[in-house]
Amino acid sequence: MNISLAKIAELVNGNVEGDDSIQISGLGKIEQAQPGQITFISNPKYQKFIETTKASAVLVSQDFPPVSKTVVRTENPYVAFLQLLKFFHPPLEMIEPGIHASAVIDSTAKIGDQVRIGAGVVIGKNCVIGDRTIIYPGVVIGPEVAVGSNTVLHANVVLREQVKIGNNVILHSGVIVGSDGFGFAREGVLYHKIPQVGIVIIEDDVEIGANCTIDRATLGATIIRQGVKLDNLIQVAHNVEIGENTVIAAQTGISGSTKIGKNAIVGGQVGFVGHIEVGDGVTVGAQSGVSKNLPPNAVYFGYPAKPIMQAKREEAAFRRLPDLLKRVSELEAKIAKLEKANL
d(CA 23, CA 30): 17
d(CA 30, CA 313): 36
Stated as kind and residue range, the H or E segment containing 255 is none
Indicate the angle between helix axes 308-319 and 321-342, nearest 10 degrees.
50
3-state secondary structure of 24: strand
- Among the listed residues 154, 192, 238, 275, the single catalytic one is 238
Query: Is 192 considered catalytic here?
Result: no
Q: For residues 214-223, b (16+ Cβ closer than 10 Å) or e, as one string?
A: bbbbbeebbb
Q: Report whether 72 contacts 14 (CB < 8 A).
A: yes
73 dihedral zone (left: phi>0; alpha: psi -120 to 50; beta): beta
Name the residue type at position 333.
A
Cite the active site residues: 238
